Structure 1
Amino acid sequence: MTQTAVADSDTGIPLRELARRHGLTAAGRLPGLPAYSRQLWSYRHFIASYANAKVMSSLGKTRLGMVWQVLTPLINAAVYYVIFGVVLNTKHNIDNFVAYLCTGVFIFQFTQSVVQAGIQAISGNLGLIRALHFPRASLPLAITMVEVRNMLASMAVLMVIVVSFGEAITWQWLLVVPIFLLQSVFNAGLAMAAARLGSKVADFKQLVPFIMRIWLYGSAVLYPVTRFTDHLSGWKLAIVEANPLLVFIDLMRHALMEDVPLAASPMVLWLEAIGWTVAVGIGGYVYFWRGEKGYGRG
């Protein structure tokens, strides 16, 4: 301490300025958002490797492995078709209800899987977090990458289903790519927000299934979107139609199907999709970054 003070006295340079000149920072200090983003980019190979390891691990747990990523939404779609399409007869206003239903189920399942896995991104990897130093956002991003890979296989199956039930392949199918990219960024933001919430509030994991079930019923997955306009109006209808998952599902249905009812015009849906992607993608990232110092403690 005495030597440091003498050196400071000799040079006349404040210790803080001296530390800044030599690139020294306080231990445990939260890096700025640009610096944190650069760190995260430098760990992109780690994120990809971790995602690959997660995929290989999941494949080894069951006999069918990755096939379940396709079977799960297919089985859900079959159950929902029997209950809502046949028993409750919600299909009478939709010409191609099977394609309509499967598109909604597959797109909703994509976001649901990311949220359910993201909630444990931190709490389920405490050993890794406490043993190694790396940007913690790598974990929810890796989980998102896993679900993106799974969804690519599901999308191939969905397209086969849509064509098999009479829909023609048109130029609008090209819109599937930007829709999928927008939803992937949206999901990444959700995963990071869920990861921080899951690390701070252990009981939040128990609430997620109920939240996703309410979200399912509010996203016109199981019935025509016109049901909302038939029973709601004013600000209630505006809130329901602004639902981000309803927006992504409507856009995907519009891309894959002809003459499908929509909650709003395609232009409005695109603007809403971009707005939700920016808000949730960036907002979730910033929210996660601000909690970086606390992950893995206690």
Structure 2
Amino acid sequence: MSTVTDMPPLPGAPEGAPEDRGLTPKQLADKYALAVSGRRPGLVTYVKQLWRRRQFIVSFATAKLTAQYTTAKMGQLWQVLTPLLNILVYYFVFGVLLGTKRNIPDFIQYLSIGVFIFTFTQQAVLQGTRSISSNLGLIRALHFPRACMPISTTVQQLQQLLFSLVVMIAIVLVVQPPTLTWLLLIPALVLQFVFNTGLSLIVARLGAKVTDMAQLVPFILRTWMYTSGVMWSLTVVSHGKPEWVKILLAVNPAAVYIDLARYSLLDSFHANQLPHHVWLLAVAWAVVVGIGGFIYFWRAEEEYGRG
């Protein structure tokens, strides 16, 4: 192991101090209270650092959302126009051409909720994948918890969803008045936000290591959308299928949060259409992916922005 004679003088240590000769770098660092630059902090310390930067996370998310459509003539209207246009396309293709609307009451409302809720998760994953690689300049210039980046992308998508909720609720009001069950949408969205944050942290770490992830993720998300019952009923589609297929479709986290939103807002979506123990599933996915994703991201904290 190298000794102090192999190193340049350390700040605070007199050059050639006799008492330091023969000490290892670690012993010198301990003696003069030096720390490794960029070393990963402990998990509790890391959480405290993130909490101190909560205003930065929200402000950064708001700024990114505001700048998202600055070059478009209709500006922020595209926040709601984009999912509305998707709804029109899906309604024509799946509802009219494929006839899935025949088995689903209030199909337009059913479809709209599915599109808006799935878009929340979809965009959190897409933006989270690029959250490190697209902010390398900021990451290399400043010292802050790198988890601020993927978390801010999820906050940004939550802000966008809140704009979209106005349109979604207006669509639902066409067929029914508000009821007390609408309040169930709040805990459902909170759990989905926690789940999305954990998922964003996972793909952020993967995207920082493998840049091709950004090209692969859209295909994965498209497959996920088709298996989440966004534009059709999973109960109808899974009829006659093996039991393991029904279980996989039922525990699909995207489908769980979509079903909870539909149950909250639509009188025509009944409790018997929900998976068994649906709230337990929603909490489990939020806790496992939220906490697991955070720890998974934190363990590579020292590596972001290098290379």
Q: Which moved more, 1:229-238 or 1:169-178?
A: 229-238
Structure 2 contact 234–249 (Cα < 8 Å) conserved:
no
Aligned partner of 1:233 in structure 2 is 242
Aligned partner of 1:292 in structure 2 is 301
Using the TM superposition, give the Cα deviation of residue 189 of structure 1 relative to its aligned residue in structure 2, in angstroms.
0.9
Matched, 1:142 2:142: no
Q: How does 1:202-241 map to 2 (within 5 A)?
A: 202-241=211-250
Q: Distance in 1 between matches of 2:271 and 2:54?
A: 38
Q: Distance in 1 between matches of 2:108 and 2:66?
A: 32
Aligned partner of 1:65 in structure 2 is 75
Aligned partner of 1:43 in structure 2 is 53
Using the TM superposition, give the Cα deviation of residue 25 of structure 1 relative to its aligned residue in structure 2, in angstroms.
3.2
Structure 2 contact 238–245 (Cα < 8 Å) conserved:
no
The structure-2 alpha-carbon separation of the partners of 1:161 and 1:277, relative to structure 1 and needing over 3 Å to count, comes to same
Matched, 1:111 2:121: yes
Q: Distance in 2 between matches of 1:5 and 1:233?
A: 75
TM-score (norm. length: structure 2): 0.88
Unaligned runs of 5+ in 2: 5-15
Q: Distance in 2 between matches of 1:44 and 1:4?
A: 48
**Larger CA Rg, structure 1 vs 2:** 2
Q: Distance in 2 between matches of 1:248 and 1:71?
A: 23
**AA in 2 matched with 1:3:** A
The structure-2 alpha-carbon separation of the partners of 1:4 and 1:204, relative to structure 1 and needing over 3 Å to count, comes to farther
Matched, 1:268 2:282: no
Q: Distance in 1 between matches of 2:299 and 2:272?
A: 36
Q: Distance in 2 between matches of 1:291 and 1:231?
A: 45
1:171 alignment partner, one of 173, 180, 184:
180
Unaligned runs of 5+ in 1: none
Matched, 1:3 2:12: no
Structure 2 contact 129–204 (Cα < 8 Å) conserved:
yes
Using the TM superposition, give the Cα deviation of residue 263 of structure 1 relative to its aligned residue in structure 2, in angstroms.
7.5
Q: Which moved more, 1:137-146 or 1:219-228?
A: 219-228
Using the TM superposition, give the Cα deviation of residue 28 of structure 1 relative to its aligned residue in structure 2, in angstroms.
3.1
Q: Distance in 2 between matches of 1:56 and 1:69?
A: 10
**AA in 1 matched with 2:158:** V
Q: Distance in 2 between matches of 1:36 and 1:171?
A: 39
Aligned partner of 2:199 in structure 1 is 190
Q: How many residues align?
A: 290
Using the TM superposition, give the Cα deviation of residue 260 of structure 1 relative to its aligned residue in structure 2, in angstroms.
1.4
**AA in 1 matched with 2:117:** I
TM-score (norm. length: structure 1): 0.91
Matched, 1:156 2:156: no
Using the TM superposition, give the Cα deviation of residue 3 of structure 1 relative to its aligned residue in structure 2, in angstroms.
3.1
